[in-house]
């Protein structure tokens, strides 16, 4: 990466789930004024890019991912003046703001769908996907919803079905109609003209569906648990034509200076990298890479995933990594509290742009909820597997301090979701005073990444450590070579590295031990420990080690 690298290549993305970050007005739901009040905290984390989950007007059937107006702010979160102030304050601190864009589907209460539903001959009828019933009655085909049941809802008034891959209250837009994309681009224009720095585009690979509406084939590997996984979704996601649509969105975005487009895609590496736009890089700047979330937490597996991704990246493509978001179980819940620091060190030392999820810096855990307290639609629609598909546990309020409601809301206010049982001890205030806490480590790690060009922009090369549970790799540039060692296991390990130097300087350990010089030949990784070390200037690294890097 050159010295002229863009802000989104150098920076760290931090996702804020607005409902759960900070309540400022006593209604138990986070809002824009609350985010503004916490911007200094975010700035102190050394994060550069704040990504907000949807804040548009919405009936909230899917908590904002059912958009009723793409160019306004839901009063639940505040006003447009609150948003303008948030954007100004973010920029004043030298940070950037990225919004969620939800183009695949709108709310059933969006004026576009209200018009579409009003009559078969309405000009906006074809803006959405309508079909006649099957010849024998019932849905037009076997397509399924992510949230359970058919992907079709019958409209009594018109005698047709409309399509939705999520809730019935989230009808799918028809991007094969020539007026739909320009309408969505106009919505993007509204925010870009305000100065928003880019968009994270929801389910970007699902924007086009099979024009022949063919049934999807059965999935021979289905485990019989989640209905949606009983089919192979070859006609409703990742159609080849979707790349042309994404190119048009990217070309439009490029009409503004240096803005960012992130695509949400849950795909294997070989399919994911196609969304960069191959060698011309004319699609997503960052097709979100969720491999670290989906892969087993095993050193050998993670190394293989990283090496494969690096090898498959198109020319000029910039990598990215994600360890948590609003749809996935929390990092510390997935890998355990002992491994959470190792995971964050991995995320923040790999080559590419890292994305963090609010609360992971303090080790927040999923909050177990009984079905009676769940609000997430996939859980309520599929109660028999609510514990598998419900996303409420990872969306609970941010834990700021030991006061009532953990500082998220005033005392006596009922928060929209319950707080964690450990919020009085696991919170920002208690950890801020302890440099060795998870928060202290996270700040030290982000500061090191910011200070070291080798971490922000240097090469990556994995190494054989000749030890189970150890993932070792180099990060380097012309001025410095860093060695990262991560112990994924609960036993002490003594890595045997293909490096000729006798010693290296420890810059940071997950154990937060003091920086010192260590002998590489005698180096020991404690259980659940990660290290970043600087190799001496002019280090002699085996030619075979660097042959691919």
Tokens representing 91?
A: 């920029």
CA angle 112, 117, 118 (to 5 degrees): 100
Q: Which residues contact 383 (CB under 8 A, 6 or more apart)?
A: 371
d(CA 127, CA 113) in angstroms, rounded, equals 8
Our measurement of the distance from residue 313's CA atom to the centroid of its chain's CA atoms, rounded to an integer in Å, reads 19
Q: How far apart are CA 541 and CA 475, in angstroms?
A: 12
User: Residue holding tokens 């097709």?
Assistant: 287
Nearest to 186 by CA among 103, 117, 106: 103
The two structure tokens encoding residue 237? 């996601």
> What region, left, alpha or beta, does residue 288 occupy, with left being phi > 0 and alpha being psi -120 to 50 degrees?
beta
Pairing of strands 517-519, 530-534: unpaired
- HSE-up (13 A, CA, CB side) for residue 491: 7
Chain Cα centroid distance, residue 321: 9
* Residue 472: Cβ within 10 Å count: 25
What SS3 class is residue 419? coil
Residues ≥6 apart with Cβ < 8 Å to 134:
140, 141
Answer whether 517's CB lies under 8 Å from 497's CB.
no
Phi and psi for 487 in degrees, rounded to 5?
-95, 110
Asked whether 545 and 498 are in contact (CB, 8 A), the reply is: yes
User: Residue 105's closest CA among 145, 143, 65?
Assistant: 65
What's the CA gap between 170 and 172, in Å, rounded? 6
Where in the sequence numbering do the catalytic residues fall? 202, 264
CA-nearest of 486, 484, 523, 485 to 502 is 523
Side-chain half-sphere CA neighbours of 186 within 13 A: 6
Cα–Cα distance, 114 to 414 (Å, whole number)? 34
Strand pairing of 96-101 and 49-52?
parallel
CB distance 400 to 407 below 8 Å:
yes
Which residues, including other chains, have CB under 8 Å from residue 187's CB and lie 6 or more apart?
Answer: 70, 71, 101
**Which two structure tokens, joined as six digits, stand for 144?**
């399924």
Paired with 286 in beta bridges are 262
The residue to which tokens 């087993």 are assigned: 296
3-state secondary structure of 469: coil
């Amino acid at each position: 990466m050159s010295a002229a690298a863009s802000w989104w290549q150098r920076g760290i993305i931090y996702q804020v789930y607005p409902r759960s970050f900070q309540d400022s007005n006593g209604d138990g739901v986070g809002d824009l004024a609350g985010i503004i009040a916490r911007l200094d905290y975010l700035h102190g984390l050394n994060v550069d890019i704040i990504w907000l989950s949807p804040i548009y007007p919405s009936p909230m059937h899917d908590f904002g991912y059912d958009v009723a107006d793409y160019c306004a702010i839901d009063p639940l979160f505040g006003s447009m003046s609150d948003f303008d102030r948030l954007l100004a304050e973010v920029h004043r601190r030298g940070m950037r703001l990225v919004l969620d864009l939800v183009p695949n589907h709108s709310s059933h209460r969006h004026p576009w769908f209200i018009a579409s539903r009003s009559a078969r001959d309405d000009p906006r009828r074809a803006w959405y996907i309508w079909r006649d019933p099957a010849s024998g009655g019932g849905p037009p085909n076997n397509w399924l919803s992510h949230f359970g049941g058919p992907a079709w809802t019958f409209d009594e008034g018109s005698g047709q079905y409309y399509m939705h891959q999520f809730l019935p209250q989230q009808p799918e837009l028809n991007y094969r109609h020539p007026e739909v994309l320009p309408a969505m681009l106009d919505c993007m224009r509204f925010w870009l003209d305000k100065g928003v720095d880019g968009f994270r585009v929801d389910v970007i690979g699902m924007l086009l569906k099979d024009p022949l509406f063919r049934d999807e084939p059965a999935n021979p590997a289905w485990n019989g648990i989640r209905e949606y996984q009983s089919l192979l979704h070859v006609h409703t996601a990742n159609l080849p034509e979707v790349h042309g649509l994404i190119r048009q969105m990217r070309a439009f975005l490029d009409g503004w200076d240096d803005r960012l487009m992130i695509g949400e895609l849950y795909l294997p590496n070989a399919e994911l990298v196609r969304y960069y736009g191959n060698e011309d890089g004319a699609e997503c700047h960052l097709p979100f890479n969720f491999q670290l979330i989906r892969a087993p937490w095993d050193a050998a597996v993670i190394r293989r995933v990283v090496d494969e991704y690096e090898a498959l990246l198109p020319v000029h493509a910039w990598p990215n990594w994600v360890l948590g978001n609003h749809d996935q179980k929390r990092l510390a819940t997935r890998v355990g509290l002992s491994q959470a620091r190792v995971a964050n060190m991995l995320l923040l030392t790999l080559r590419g742009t890292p994305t963090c999820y609010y609360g992971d810096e303090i080790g927040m855990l999923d909050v177990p909820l009984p079905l009676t307290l769940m609000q997430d639609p996939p859980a309520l629609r599929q109660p028999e597997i609510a514990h598998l598909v419900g996303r409420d546990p990872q969306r609970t309020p941010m834990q700021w301090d030991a006061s009532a409601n953990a500082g998220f809301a005033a005392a006596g206010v009922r928060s929209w979701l319950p707080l964690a049982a450990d919020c009085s001890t696991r919170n920002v205030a208690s950890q801020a005073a302890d440099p060795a806490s998870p928060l202290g480590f996270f700040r030290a790690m982000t500061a090191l990444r910011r200070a070291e060009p080798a971490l922000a922009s240097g090469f990556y090369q994995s190494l054989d450590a000749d030890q189970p549970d150890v993932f070792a790799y180099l990060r380097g540039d012309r001025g410095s070579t860093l060695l990262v060692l991560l112990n994924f296991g609960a036993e002490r390990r003594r890595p045997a590295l293909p490096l000729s130097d006798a010693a290296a300087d420890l810059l940071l350990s997950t154990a937060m031990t003091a920086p010192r010089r260590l002998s590489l030949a005698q180096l020991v990784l404690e259980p659940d420990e990660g290290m970043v070390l600087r190799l001496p200037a002019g280090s002699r690294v085996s030619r075979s080690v660097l042959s691919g890097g």
